[in-house]
Amino acid sequence: MHAIMGGTGHVGSAVAEALLWRGEQVIVITRAVDGPSRLRDQGARFAQADVEDVDSLRAAFRGAKRAFLLNPPADVAQDTDTIERRTAAKILEALEGASLEKVVAASTGGAQEGECLGDLNVLWELERGLRRQPIPAAINRGAYYMSNWDGLLESVETTGKLSTIFPADLAIPMVAPADLGRFAADRLLSGTDDIAIREVEGPERYTVRQVADAFARALGKPVGLDITPRAGWKDAFLSQGFSEKAATSYARMSKASVDGGFEFSDTPLRGTVSLQRYIAELVARRHEGK
């Protein structure tokens, strides 16, 4: 039995689906278990837990042999670093005394020690904590999620512009949730000695110019770029409803990622879902829903 945190989100649901497809038993950990779910239709069980409530999370792990760990993103209108550090610590606390034989944790490319660097330092701290506890822990550092482009579809379709803070021709490691799910499932099913840090990205690296081109092909109309210069990054986040602290953190995280070339090696685990396929399917789903 595999317990899956974040099982109703992009990545967690992909992990659950990959396991269910292989005939594995899955418990989806979620704050709300009511309502329809394609995972339930596929045979998944659900356990209600809140990452802020250690007892409920520990109870959700009970009965599972292995678990997929995902620190949920905090509301950007709040102090994201403080909240996400707290929830990471609660995940580690919930593992204390758990009977799990192995866990697989979602982390991020470029994870590093620091302050006010968003996921980069929060997930580095989670990685460090997992290394200090006794349960064997495999860590998958994911590339930039292709699903981060989902929220821009409406504005791209309306304005014909893709708004971004990234330089037009910077090659960025990107990965689709389906590939993250497949590789996490692989490691949940592998031996307890498979505990290295592995990087996960898609079949190739992409620029935001290629993202705009993918939207253009899928929408059947030209799409240009609207690039925010570095000096305006924090203000751009503030204009999207980020708190002062969250905007500062995200701007610093973006700077560290861009300046470090997203710090990915040349030998990651490579998925099969291309950016072009991902965007085409995203647009198709939106139009089917209209």
**Mean per-residue pLDDT, 171-189:** 97
Asked if residue 140 is part of any domain, the answer here is yes
The CATH number of residue 60's host domain is 3.40.50.720
* Token pair recorded at residue 244: 């002062």
| Torsion angle of the four alpha carbons 250, 243, 55, 192, in this order, in degrees rounded to the nearest 10 | -10
Angstrom distance (rounded) from CA 253 to CA 181: 24
State pLDDT tens for residues 41-52: 888 899 999 999
- Domains identified in the chain, total number: 1
Asked if residue 237 is part of any domain, the answer here is no
What pLDDT is attached to residue 38?
Answer: 85
Backbone angles phi, psi at 270, to 5 degrees: -105, 125
Q: Determine the straight-line distance between the first and last CA of the chain, rounded to whole angstroms.
A: 38
Asked if residue 139 is part of any domain, the answer here is yes
Please indicate whether residue 260 or residue 104 has the higher confidence score (pLDDT): 104
Asked if residue 124 is part of any domain, the answer here is yes
Sheet holding 172-175, edge to edge: 144-145, 172-175, 205-206
DSSP string, 96-116: TT---SEEEEEEETT--S-SS
Specify whether the CB–CB gap between 162 and 211 falls below 8 A.
yes
Provide the domain limits for residue 62: 2-145+175-202+267-272
To the nearest whole percent, how much of the chain has pLDDT over 70? Answer: 98
Q: How many CB atoms lie within 10 A of CB 196?
A: 9
| pTM, full prediction | 0.94
Q: Where are the beta strands (DSSP E) in 93-190?
A: 102-108, 137-142, 144-145, 161-164, 172-175
Q: Is the pLDDT assigned to residue 269 strictly greater than 70? A: yes
To the nearest whole percent, how much of the chain has pLDDT over 90? Answer: 87
The amino acid sitting at 237 is: F
Q: Do β-strands 66-69 and 2-5 pair in parallel, antiparallel, or remain unpaired?
A: parallel
Asked if residue 279 is part of any domain, the answer here is no
Asked if residue 261 is part of any domain, the answer here is no
Quote the DSSP letter at residue 225: E
Asked if residue 226 is part of any domain, the answer here is no
Specify whether the CB–CB gap between 244 and 178 falls below 8 A.
no
Specify whether the CB–CB gap between 68 and 102 falls below 8 A.
no
Determine the length of the chain.
290
Angstrom distance (rounded) from CA 237 to CA 165: 10
Specify whether the CB–CB gap between 58 and 90 falls below 8 A.
no
The amino acid sitting at 90 is: K
Q: Is the pLDDT assigned to residue 263 strictly greater than 90? A: no
Asked if residue 15 is part of any domain, the answer here is yes
State pLDDT tens for residues 51-108: 999 999 999 999 899 999 999 999 999 999 999 999 999 999 999 989 999 999 999 9
Angstrom distance (rounded) from CA 211 to CA 153: 11
